[in-house]
Amino acid sequence: MLKQDDAWFTGGAPLDVLLVEDDPLVLATLGEALRLGGLQTERHTSAESALEALAERRPRAVVTDINLGNGMDGVSFGRIARARYPDVPLVYISGRYSELRGLTGRERFLLKPFSASLLLGALKELGVTASHDMAVQRG
């Protein structure tokens, strides 16, 4: 039996990917690529905003930039997400770092720029495949 905190959805809307990226253009581009790939996304421009979303619902995967401007970085956010939902896959993305060491089997790293098919492939490799075609954006 699922508890409210463990539910895959709130209000009937499944959440495939929680997307965190501080650059609005990159956020929109990645969000659209995921949507076109059949994944329902919720978009956030900060780790702090995404943490609030994690308190409300459990995503099937998290995609986060490492450098998120002011505030918490993506690696710290990923650690918190991992502590809350240990089995949720994480994809870290960055245009600044060429690699990320110490990744687990449920984590991947992509160097920007990358193609939509590479991101969708990484998610598929982690067991996240298309289910819905809707997107929600929050600040």
Sequence letter at residue 39: L
- Higher pLDDT residue, 7 or 35? 35
Quick one: which of 128, 136, 129 has its CA closest to 13? Answer: 136
Using CA atoms, how far residue 136 sits from 22, 49, 71, 78, 119, in Å, is 16, 13, 22, 20, 19
pLDDT, tens digit (0-9, with 9 covering 90-100), for 95-114: 888 778 888 899 999 999 99
Residue 15 has pLDDT above 50, yes or no: yes
pTM: 0.84
**pLDDT at 26 (0 to 100):** 96
Residue 14, number of CB atoms within 10 A of its CB: 16
CATH homologous superfamily of 13-97+106-127: Response regulator (3.40.50.2300)
pLDDT, tens digit (0-9, with 9 covering 90-100), for 62-72: 999 999 988 89
